[in-house]
Amino acid sequence: MRRITVFGSTGSIGVNTLDLIARRPGAFQVVALSGGRNIKLLAEQARAFRAEVAVTAHEDCLPALREALAGTGIEATAGKAALIEAALRPADWIMSAIVGAAGLAPGFAALSQGTTLALANKESLVTAGPLLLAEAAKHNARLLPVDSEHSAVFQALVGEEMAAVERIIITASGGAFRDWPIEKLAHATVAQASTHPNWAMGQRITIDSASFFNKALELIETKEYFGVRPEQIEVLVHPESLVHALVGFKDGALMAHLGAPDMRHAIGYALNWPERAELPVTRLDLAKIGALTFRAPDEDRFPALRLAREVMAMGGTAGAAFNAAKEAALDAFIGEEIGFLAMSRLVEAVLTEMTARHGLGKPLDSLDMVMDTDATARALARSLVPTVRT
Ligand code: NAD
Ligand code: MG
């Protein structure tokens, strides 16, 4: 039996991961599960999978979790230190599916046990890519991509040499507002931004898809994970969300990965890697689908991609500042303090200010440096909220 831990088990990726695990009884033993305030679901999962420990991120939720697990023999713990402790419990495969920069520390800690870390938490690579890869190499741990585009690239690269890769193309559905004119975007509501045309995902990544900040993070994720130059990475809008990525080789060949828009494809690939196992996903009927369409992204309406390219050029601390500013801007949008278009203005203002005040792009030497940059950018973003036009 493979020992498995799932960070963020109560979220969209976490629930899909447990769905695949449940379909193979006897194959996996669940070590730790983690969630936030949804104690009911976390306790249900811990009971159903007979986990060793269930961790809530919030100390004030611990009494409720203890009560929900009373008499089961399952440990209940809470807080950041408890997440790290769970990450150090021996496991063969660990899913990193907490949303946001909060997912970095547990995943990073898990690498020290030389495990396989399935990385849904793209923020880990955006904020601390070089540190994460160095830590994995040091402990002989393996990082597997779970983001659908990056899983697609990873699969298209099986048996290939990176030296033969000319470019990587990641696709974008275009999100909720792909056909909206810019005037209308200014008044987009949180509810409208939280509905994705093709994918069922957590609320934060769904809004990030509508603003293209998700694709912006994914550009940086591609650069960090595959070690390519920023100018080798392209974004292509593909409304059907069936081609997830393409790899272009020096002989001009393009290898594409196609599949239904179902995260269990990418999760299942990482779970069963290096083998392929049967997965409960819809098989594509291309004759019925008929046509696939592609277009270039519109960077006037969605400046996030341009900002990501600036961040990649700076490198070092810029990724952590970018991600933290983006998270703060998203919080402000969800809290209805700023409008949809103001998110990218706020992120840009933070990057400009931080460059002027602190200098952005210093090489990362530690996780503390990442956390410090994150805290500075978040605080600065909060202070700039009243200054951005909504
Ligand atoms: P979600 O919001 O559905 O779930 C997030 C999980 O993290 C929950 O278990 C929640 O309790 C936990 N969490 C939230 N804040 C926390 C904190 N501060 N500390 C500890 N735990 C916390 O998110 P999701 O859509 O499942 O996304 C998870 C990650 O996977 C994100 O990094 C996202 O970008 C990435 N991802 C998601 C999808 C998708 O289809 N949902 C696709 C690609 C990548
Ligand atoms: Mg993705």
Counting ligands in written order, which one lies closest to the CA of residue 125? Answer: 1
The single-letter DSSP state of residue 328 is: H
pLDDT at residue 82 greater than cutoff 90: yes
Of the bound ligands, which one is closest to the alpha carbon of residue 149? 2
d(CA 126, CA 377): 14
Measure 388 CA to ligand 2 centroid, in angstroms: 28
Residue 29 bridge partners (DSSP)? 3
Mutation pick for ligand 1 pocket among 59, 108, 201, 330 (CB with most ligand atoms within 8 Å): 201
CA of 2 to the centre of ligand 1 (A): 23
Whose alpha carbon is nearest atom 20 of ligand 1?
Answer: 57
The number of the ligand 1 atom at minimal distance from the alpha carbon of 203 is 2
What is the pLDDT, as a whole number, of residue 301? 85
- Return d(Cα 258, Cα 255) in angstroms, integer: 10
pLDDT, tens only, 309-368: 999 999 999 999 999 999 999 999 999 999 999 999 999 999 999 999 988 999 999 999
The residues that bridge with 143 in the sheet, in sequence order, are 117
pLDDT at 166: 98
What integer best gives the mean pLDDT of the chain? 97
User: Which ligand 1 atom is the nearest neighbour of the CA of 14?
Assistant: 26
Residue 179, SS3 per DSSP: coil
Ligand that lies nearest to the alpha carbon of residue 39, given by its number in the listed order = 1
Residues 6+ apart with CB under 8 A from 338: 329, 332, 346, 385, 388, 390
Q: If pLDDT is split at 50, 70 and 90, which confidence band does 199 have?
A: confident
What DSSP string runs through 285-300?
-HHHH-----B---TT
**CA dist., res. 323 & res. 371, Å (int):** 11
pLDDT at position 197, please? 87
Residue from 5, 9, 10, 13 to probe ligand 1 pocket by mutation (most atoms less than 8 Å from CB): 13
- What average pLDDT does this structure show over 231-247? 98
* Reported pTM: 0.98
H helix or E strand, kind and range, residue 104? helix 104-111
- Average confidence (pLDDT) over 173-193: 93
Q: Which of 87, 62, 86, 97 is nearest to 76 (CA)?
A: 62
Separation of 249 CA from ligand 2 center, angstroms?
22
Ligand nearest to the CA of 87: 1
Cβ neighbours around 371 below 10 Å, total: 17
Band of residue 299 on the pLDDT scale cut at 50, 70, 90 = confident
pLDDT tens-digit series, residues 122-159 = 999 999 999 999 999 999 999 999 999 999 999 999 99
**Measured between alpha carbons, how far apart are the two ends of the chain, in Å?**
53
* Beta strand 75-78 pairing with 53-56: parallel
Question: Which of 7, 55, 99 for mutating ligand 1's site (highest number of atoms within 8 Å of CB)?
Answer: 99
- In this structure, the residues whose C-beta lies within 6 A of any atom of ligand 1 are 8, 10-14, 35-36, 57, 97-100, 102-103, 120-123, 147, 199, 201-202, 204-205, 263
